[in-house]
Amino acid sequence: MADLSTETGGIRSPNPFWLASAPPANSGAQVQRAFDAGWGGAVWKTLGTPIQNVSSRFGGHAIGGVRGAGFNNIELITDRPLEVNFREIAQTKKRWPNNPIIASLMVETREEWREIIKRSIDAGADGLELNFGCPHGMCERGMGSAVGQEPAVNERITSWAREFSTVPVLVKLTPNVSNIVPHGMAAKRGGAHGVSLINTIKSIIAVDIDRFVPEPRVGSLSTNGGYCGAAVKPIALHMVAALAREPGFGLPISGIGGVRNWRDAVEFMLLGSSTVQVCTEVMLRGYRVVEEMRDGLEEYMRSKGFARVQDIVGKAIPAFSEWGDLDMNYETVARINASACIGCQLCVAACHDGAHQCIHPQQHTRVPRIDEAECVGCNLCQIVCPAPGCITMERVDNGHDPATWNEHVNHGATLRPKKGAH
Amino acid sequence: MPAEFPVERSETAFTDYKLPLSPAHAAAEAGRCLFCHDAPCVRACPTHIDIPQFIRKIANGNDRGAAKTILESNILGMSCARVCPVEVLCVGACVYNDLEEPPIQIGKLQRHATDRAIDEGWRFFQAGTPTGRRVALVGAGPASLAAAHELRRLGHACTIFDRRGFLGGLNTTGIAPHKMKADRSVTEAAWVLQIGGVDLRTGVDIGRDVALADLEHEFDAVFVGIGLGADSRAGVPGQDLPGVLGAVEWIERMKLGDAGLAGVRRAVVVGAGNTAIDAVRELRALDVSHVTMLYRGTEDAMGGYAHEWRAAKVAGVRAVWRAVATAFEGTSQLERLQCVCVDESRTPIAGSQFTLEADLALLAIGQSRLGSTLAGLSGITVESGIVRVDAHGFTGRPGWYAGGDCANGGKEVVNAVAEGMTAARAIDRELAAGGGTGRMGARRG
């Protein structure tokens, strides 16, 4: 059986599934129920000077009838007294000594950091996560993403945390930056043991078209919130991978952003995450979603022959390349398996209106014809096709040796003739 | 014209066989639609409703827009949503059938949108600028209603004649009540005519009260949508006994009043077309315990839809294949049918006589054809009682058009609607080109 135990930055966990710092990790009773359900670890709801929240706080983005495909919130850090939080951390650790609790922290001054770190460790926290990511409410007060967007501030506060902490320090990064790498590097210079990303994305989730007010609505007003949920996964995957492949970086990563099943988790792991954190899927469906995540990961590892989580981590990073290093002479065309085709002709509409006009309806059959001489191998038809095994992208041997754009520009490598560019 | 039907009718005992979708179910079902290109469902619809487009509107919370899309192509879209044999039309053509996934429930989605249009009084269409031209529509069934609505949009004044006192034709009197009841058809017809400018002359039997040719004095064009006539008789001894009725006649009685089933325990329906299947299902639903369908052919060759016959079998109807009635017998009222088996060439097989006890026999072996009503008008061809028309419903006599059952021999409501709308556009073109019956000019013979 595959071994699901893992670690990120020295924080060991029986499995890679952690609750992200968020409402599902708000209290001891919740975190203990989560551990009962099988979660590996929990990043406690961010501790700091307790705040007061508004109602309402959450907004959902439904896509094609799927509620909560995207999600946002305008909730702030913990609103519960610090001593209650610390007491519950201690109680939870006593019952679950092997499941890591990571204290997410957000305060302002050096002295406040010293104080809250000491109390967190005293309560039994296995690690710290510095919340440099929250994009609403706290950043206006000079915390959260206001820190994460300034590498110098990030580095300074991270170094304070290292100075005061006896447990591993993770820095949680905000995606509300144009390039994630300098921010990861700042955390590294500050001495972080690892990073977690992404925090939520600055967003307006929706607008109430009857009241003319954005959502979530607080009386007659709204404000921007943090976007998360399944729909943000592609952005998160890119930022995780951008750091994982950065030669000078090398810190462990706890991946966050749209993980809703084992498959998402595997993707984060293949791009360099040694643990993943989950919030939205738990908020939508509860702690027991972890059963499928654990079981699916185990089945995947068994089917691929991976013994340990670490065998997967970063396995797709070598294949994450720059555009200029892609083989321009690699050629594919779409092929339709007529016996699997159901004649919906979604490919015809997609190719004609959205691609290169090379899929054509035919007179005496609903099965379309592909003009391979014009097909640029874009994948669009395969993406829209609802019939399993119908459209495949087939490699074409065009007789050209591999050649990248960079090789072409720098060394005069020969590129195949363009297709569909007339 | 208000419907003057009794509140308590035999048909009111029926509930819908296909239940309406809840708004949530409609949205979920609509969300499954693939939005096919050149969609097979649209091709399968005689009125070519843009089905993917209306379903997409439902999926996105725009029921009103969905209704507009449907009704633009088929003004009787509410009826058709309920009475169309979708299993062999749009739903049967859905590509999901080939994926072995349930096809989209197009009829139910159409009902979802069009029920709201009727019940909430949504209006989408205005009468066109008056042309000063007048069109007579003979018969108030689906073909004429659809033609009249289209003609009004094009600005022509319309007059509908019908021998009955209510609108809807066979859509009112002949639809299986588990699909639609009479008052619903009448409500829809009234909604259609809210476009205004349609003069109704009911209780007028054209051809008897008014000579057909006389319409040319008053109208620039005539659309004939008179449907089919009375049930065909079997030509069998005893067919005039009380207890032997035409199926269409009985169905109308059941829909508009009392079905007259007191004391009826055994019923035989002769024929195996869709009228026969409707009748056997209705008899079972009205608690006639022994219902038998008697057909001279085999199950494979029956005229009715297979999905309808399956439902009849589930309801407990039995069939006797390859047999015909040779006599209806009884002292003062039907008591039994004498029958005989027939071979493949429908020749009686010697010694195969048998008796079916029955209190009621319904003849569902076809309806008479009314085309001969028109036979006296030069330029109009009537073959086997069917009015010959071209692809636009034109009869060959200037200004004269026909559609629906009288011209197609008896098809679905949706075919009648398609033919009515097509003819209306052709009438408009003919009138715009200065043609027509010649009301304003010289008479033709």
Statement to judge: residues B261 and B343 lie in one domain: yes
The answer to whether residue B246 sits within a structural domain is yes
- Assess whether pLDDT exceeds 90 at residue A197: yes
B246: its two tokens: 């035409």
Tell me the DSSP string of A367-406. Answer: S-EE-TTT----SHHHHH--STTSEEEEEE--SPPP-BHH
Q: Is A385 a catalytic residue?
A: no
Top residue of B37, B38, B98 to mutate, by most chain A CBs within 10 Å, is B37
**B28 contact A CB<8A:** yes
The answer to whether residue B140 sits within a structural domain is yes
Statement to judge: residues B301 and B409 lie in one domain: no
- Assess whether pLDDT exceeds 70 at residue B361: yes
Statement to judge: residues B173 and B277 lie in one domain: no
Considering only CA atoms, which of B178, B33, B179 is closest in space to residue B106? Answer: B33
Using CA atoms, how far apart are residues A197 and A272, in angstroms rounded to an integer?
11
Q: Write the single-letter amino acid at A110.
A: R
Using CA atoms, how far apart are residues B74 and B83, in angstroms rounded to an integer?
13
Q: Among B27, B38, B96, select the one facing A361 at the smallest CB separation.
A: B38
Statement to judge: residues B345 and B242 lie in one domain: yes
Q: Band of the pLDDT at B207, cuts 50, 70, 90?
A: confident
Statement to judge: residues B92 and B175 lie in one domain: no
Stretch A324-352: mean pLDDT: 97
pLDDT single digits (tens) B167-186:
999 999 999 999 999 999 99
Statement to judge: residues B157 and B91 lie in one domain: no
Q: Band of the pLDDT at A142, cuts 50, 70, 90?
A: confident
Tell me the DSSP string of A84-150. Answer: HHHHHHHHHHHH-TTS-EEEEE--SSHHHHHHHHHHHHHHT-SEEEEE----SSSGGGT-THHHHT-
Considering only CA atoms, which of B74, B91, B36, B327 is closest in space to residue B188? Answer: B74
Q: Band of the pLDDT at B440, cuts 50, 70, 90?
A: low
Helix A262-270 vs helix A289-304: crossing angle, to nearest 10:
50
pLDDT single digits (tens) A22-31:
999 999 999 9
Query: In terms of CA atoms, which chain A residue is nearest residue B41?
Result: A344
Using CA atoms, how far apart are residues B155 and B197, in angstroms rounded to an integer?
9
Task: Classify the phi-psi angles of A412: left when phi > 0, otherwise alpha if psi is within -120 to 50, otherwise beta.
Answer: left
- What secondary structure letter does DSSP report for A306? -
3-class state of residue B177 by DSSP: coil
Q: Band of the pLDDT at B2, cuts 50, 70, 90?
A: very low
Q: Band of the pLDDT at B437, cuts 50, 70, 90?
A: very high
A59: its two tokens: 């907004």
Helix B63-73 vs helix B51-59: crossing angle, to nearest 10:
170
Q: What share of chain A is helix, strand, coil (3-state, %, to 5)?
A: 35, 20, 45
Percent of chain B topping pLDDT 90: 92
The domain boundary, picked from B70, B96, B119, lies at B119
Using CA atoms, how far apart are residues B251 and B279, in angstroms rounded to an integer?
7
B360: its two tokens: 């009621």
CA distance A386 to chain B (A): 8
> The domain spanning residue B145 has which CATH number?
3.50.50.60
Task: State the total domains in chain B.
Answer: 3
Q: Band of the pLDDT at A65, cuts 50, 70, 90?
A: confident
A376: its two tokens: 């640029």
Mean pLDDT of chain B: 95
- Assess whether pLDDT exceeds 50 at residue B442: no
Q: Band of the pLDDT at B3, cuts 50, 70, 90?
A: low
CA distance A418 to chain B (A): 29
H, E, C per residue of A144-171: CHHHHCCHHHHHHHHHHHHHHCCCCEEE
**A342 contact B CB<8A:** yes
Residues of A in contact with B35 (CB under 8 A): 346
Statement to judge: residues B197 and B241 lie in one domain: no
The answer to whether residue B438 sits within a structural domain is no
Q: What share of chain B is helix, strand, coil (3-state, %, to 5)?
A: 40, 15, 45
Task: Report the length, in residues, of chain A.
Answer: 422
Statement to judge: residues B245 and B350 lie in one domain: yes
- Assess whether pLDDT exceeds 60 at residue A393: yes
Give chain A's end-to-end CA distance (angstroms, integer).
56
Statement to judge: residues B360 and B374 lie in one domain: no
- Assess whether pLDDT exceeds 90 at residue A133: no
> The domain spanning residue B45 has which CATH number?
1.10.1060.10
The answer to whether residue B3 sits within a structural domain is no
pLDDT single digits (tens) A233-285:
999 999 999 999 999 999 999 999 999 999 999 999 999 999 999 999 999 99
**A51 contact B CB<8A:** no
The domain boundary, picked from B86, B119, B152, lies at B119
The answer to whether residue B10 sits within a structural domain is no
Q: Band of the pLDDT at B443, cuts 50, 70, 90?
A: very low
Using CA atoms, how far apart are residues B148 and B76, in angstroms rounded to an integer?
12
pLDDT single digits (tens) A95-117:
999 999 999 999 999 999 999 99
pLDDT at residue A144, rounded to an integer: 81
The answer to whether residue B2 sits within a structural domain is no
Query: Is A342's CB within 8 Å of B28's CB?
Result: no
Using CA atoms, how far apart are residues A86 and A91, in angstroms rounded to an integer?
9
pLDDT at residue A155, rounded to an integer: 96
Q: Which domains does chain A have, with CATH numbers?
A: 6-319 (3.20.20.70), 323-411 (3.30.70.20)
pLDDT at residue B1, rounded to an integer: 42
pLDDT single digits (tens) B131-150:
999 999 999 999 999 999 99
* Strand (E) or helix (H) holding B35: none
Using CA atoms, how far apart are residues A196 and A131, in angstroms rounded to an integer?
9
pLDDT single digits (tens) B6-30:
989 999 999 999 999 999 999 999 9
Using CA atoms, how far apart are residues B32 and B42, in angstroms rounded to an integer?
17
Top residue of B42, B95, B96, B100 to mutate, by most chain A CBs within 10 Å, is B95
Statement to judge: residues B153 and B86 lie in one domain: no
Statement to judge: residues B242 and B351 lie in one domain: yes
pTM to 2 decimal places: 0.89
Statement to judge: residues B242 and B359 lie in one domain: yes
Using CA atoms, how far apart are residues B52 and B104, in angstroms rounded to an integer?
10
Top residue of A67, A344, A363 to mutate, by most chain B CBs within 10 Å, is A344
**A343 contact B CB<8A:** yes
How many CB atoms sit inside 10 A of residue B442's CB?
5
The domain boundary, picked from B328, B345, B364, lies at B364
The answer to whether residue B441 sits within a structural domain is no
Using CA atoms, how far apart are residues B293 and B358, in angstroms rounded to an integer?
12
**Which residues 6+ apart lie within 8 Å of B389 measured at CB?**
B395, B401, B402, B403, B407, B423
- Assess whether pLDDT exceeds 90 at residue B31: yes
- Assess whether pLDDT exceeds 60 at residue B444: no
Residues of A in contact with B96 (CB under 8 A): 342
Q: Which domain holds residue B199?
A: 134-227+370-432
Q: Among A64, A65, A342, select the one facing B95 at the smallest CB separation.
A: A342
The answer to whether residue B307 sits within a structural domain is yes
Q: Which of A134, A139, A347, A385 is catalytic?
A: A134
pLDDT at residue B445, rounded to an integer: 38
